[in-house]
């Protein structure tokens, strides 16, 4: 049986020096670790349906902020960074098409936020403005941190992880404010920040605010199970 093809979105187009698309290797490594065959998906493709027609699963990666204009947010906040119309348009179209096709999906950090916006939700522009510094969700743009998360015990996410409490790698300054249509929160940080969502009657969709790829390689890490579940569902659909 062939390895399932897993699309992995990349960051925005880098224009300094030679133009390039890139993505941290940890996403690719995590997909390979559990038997998936990663395929990078740079923004700019006008026909995401053509991409998804050849893929068995999808990882929506983290990265820069979504343009607040896309969810009715105020523009000009000093903490906003790396907004990119090309990436926003591509990923919003991609996730809507993936949902329509019922493509197995793992949405990570920005990816969760893209999912939420695609379904009509919105975001807190800068978490420290809302919840303060009780929980540090990001040290800087260059450095992640760790903090505990509580998962609803009866959620699909808890079943995949095999636990309702875990320490996660956190690297974000925005988070869900108003949930998109059909989404429900299933995990929270100690300050009440939504850390994961599920989509009603769509078990093929997993979405977390933290970065499981940074811990997937650790022995016995429950984070690996997020990628394993994605690849298992992708493999089942590829048969």
H-helix or E-strand containing 151?
strand 145-151
**How many angstroms separate the CA atoms of 71 and 103, rounded?**
24
Asked whether the beta carbons of 62 and 109 are under 8 A apart, the reply is: yes
According to DSSP, the residues that pair with 205 across neighbouring strands are 105
204 assigned to active site: no
According to DSSP, the residues that pair with 16 across neighbouring strands are none
Q: Which of 195, 198, 213, 232 is catalytic?
A: 213
147 assigned to active site: no
Q: Which of 124, 137, 147, 211 is catalytic?
A: 211
Backbone torsion region of residue 192, taken as left when φ is above 0, otherwise alpha when ψ lies between -120 and 50, otherwise beta: left
Phi and psi for 170 in degrees, rounded to 5?
-115, 140
Reduce the DSSP state of residue 33 to 3 states and report it.
helix
In residues, how long is the chain?
A: 239
Q: Which of 91, 97, 109, 232 is catalytic?
A: 109
**How many angstroms separate the CA atoms of 209 and 153, rounded?**
18
213 assigned to active site: yes
User: What letter does residue 108 receive in the DSSP assignment?
Assistant: E
Residues with active-site annotation? 109, 211, 213
């Amino acid at each position: 049986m062939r390895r399932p093809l897993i699309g992995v979105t990349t960051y925005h187009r880098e224009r300094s020096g030679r133009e390039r698309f890139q993505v941290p290797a940890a996403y690719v490594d995590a997909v390979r670790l559990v038997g998936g065959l990663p395929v990078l998906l740079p923004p700019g493709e006008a026909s995401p349906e053509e991409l998804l027609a050849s893929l068995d699963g999808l990882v929506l990666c983290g990265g820069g902020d979504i343009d607040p204009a896309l969810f009715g947010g105020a523009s000009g906040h000093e903490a906003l960074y790396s907004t990119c119309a090309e990436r926003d348009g591509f990923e919003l179209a991609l996730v809507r098409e993936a949902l329509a096709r019922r493509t197995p999906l793992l949405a990570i950090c920005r990816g969760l936020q893209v999912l939420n916006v695609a379904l009509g939700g919105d975001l807190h522009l800068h978490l420290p403005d809302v919840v303060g510094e009780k929980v540090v969700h990001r040290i800087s743009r260059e450095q992640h941190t760790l903090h505990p998360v509580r998962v609803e015990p009866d959620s699909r996410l808890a079943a995949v992880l095999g636990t309702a409490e875990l320490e996660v790698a956190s690297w974000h300054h925005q988070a869900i404010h108003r949930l998109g249509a059909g989404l429900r929160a299933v995990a929270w940080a100690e300050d009440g920040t939504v850390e994961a969502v599920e989509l009603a009657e769509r078990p093929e969709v997993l979405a977390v605010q933290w970065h499981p790829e940074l811990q997937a390689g650790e022995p016995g890490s429950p984070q690996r199970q997020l990628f394993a579940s994605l690849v298992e569902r992708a493999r089942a659909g590829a048969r």
